[in-house]
Amino acid sequence: MRRREFIAGLGGAAIWPVAARAQQGERMRRVGVLWPLDADDPDGQVEMAVLRRGLVERGWIEGRTIDVAVQWAGGDPIEASAKELVGTKPDVLLSRSTPMTAALNNERGLIPLVFVNVPEPVEQGFVQSLAQPGGNITGFTNLEASVSSKMLQLLKEIDPRIIRIVAIYNPRTAPFAGSYLRRMESAGISLGVETAGMPVQNDSDIEAALMAAVQPGGGLVAIPDIYTFERRDLVITLARRLRLPAVYGSRYFARSGGLMAYAVDARDLMRRAADYIDRILRGARPADLPVQFPTKFEMAVNLKTAKALGLTIPPNLLAVADEVIE
């Protein structure tokens, strides 16, 4: 069932000092958010809380100057969720991930759209260029050249025996996977690691891919992809059962029991998205707001999982990890 949440109470008493800056009689503005997860997903709630706080910090007051309508599309047809959200007539839209962005882009008409976590927005046809997006859409990409090579490097550092990596992704939700694989292959040459991309579109595919990775010197990389993110519990459970060293594209994997994660800081992208939404609501044109690259990255390590796999995390990695889960 699709659920739309009208977020209220952005911080209670803590937001009232900004009320003096709100213009009396200002028309209530609405932000429509299309989110790929269920409403009870704790990771999605964390990122939405960051967006809420960002709007509060810019002077918006829920119930007085702004409403935020969140369409949680987890498990529902994306196109129907996008159509329903656009039907609420928001002043600006926010999408997270490529599938959400594509769905809203097809439905939105002239409503401005800000996207987050969208790799290669030019190649995917969302914007004309990064510097000058054109049209009525802009946002924040999560594809940074160093991420895929860094993921491979970290996995090799944790387990020097690794000589072959299987990288999983869903071609439907991750049309950008080729870029990750090419960079990973280049990094693998210098590290002495062979890489193989394996598309997965259902649970049986995931199990087959992980079974293919189980061999002496085998390891797993989960390319950042909303499908593998949604199926993270299955991927993590299988990797642990098969004693397969793995690195993932979101810190939430490590929190859920995955060995290690290296990724763009998704919360930072949400903070910056709040700034773009604020600027658009105050009159800026999306066409004049360049698509921005990630500037913050995060690494998380799960020591309990490392111990279960018989691996020792090098002290130098523990020293620089943003989060160590024990």
Per domain, the residue ranges of the chain are 3-142+266-294, 145-264+298-325
pLDDT in the model for residue 251: 87
Closest CA to 114 of 271, 317, 306: 271
CA distances for 192 relative to 63, 115, 156, 261, 273, angstroms? 57, 37, 9, 21, 39
Q: Which residues lie closer than 8 Å to 110 by C-beta, 6 or more apart?
A: 136
pLDDT in the model for residue 139: 97
Q: What are phi and psi of 275, to 5 degrees?
A: -65, -45
* b (16+ CB within 10 A) / e for 209-247: bbeebbeeebbbbbbbbbbbbbbbeebbebbbebebbbb
Q: Going residue by residue through the chain, which has 326 residues, state the pLDDT in tens, using 9 for 90 and above.
A: 444 444 333 333 333 333 434 444 568 999 999 998 888 888 889 999 999 999 999 999 988 999 999 999 877 788 999 999 999 999 999 999 889 999 999 999 999 999 998 988 998 899 999 999 988 999 999 876 678 888 999 999 999 999 999 999 999 888 888 888 988 998 999 999 999 999 999 999 999 999 999 988 999 999 888 889 889 999 999 999 999 999 998 888 999 999 999 988 989 999 999 999 999 999 999 999 999 999 999 999 999 999 999 999 999 999 999 999 98
The neighbour count for residue 74, using CB atoms within 10 Å, is 17
pLDDT in the model for residue 177: 86
DSSP code at position 292: B
What is the fold, at CATH topology level, of the domain defined by 3-142+266-294? Rossmann fold (3.40.50)
Q: In DSSP terms, which residues pair with 69 in a beta bridge?
A: 6, 32
pLDDT in the model for residue 145: 60
Decide: residue 87, CB within 10 A, 0-12 exposed, 13-18 middle, 19+ buried: exposed
Give the whole-angstrom CA distance, residue 119 versus residue 294.
Answer: 11
Whether the domain at 3-142+266-294 and the domain at 145-264+298-325 fall into the same CATH topology: yes
Distance of CA 80 to the CA centre of its chain: 21
**Domain spanning 145-264+298-325, CATH class:** alpha beta
Distance of CA 321 to the CA centre of its chain: 19
Closest CA to 185 of 212, 221, 225: 221
pLDDT in the model for residue 226: 83
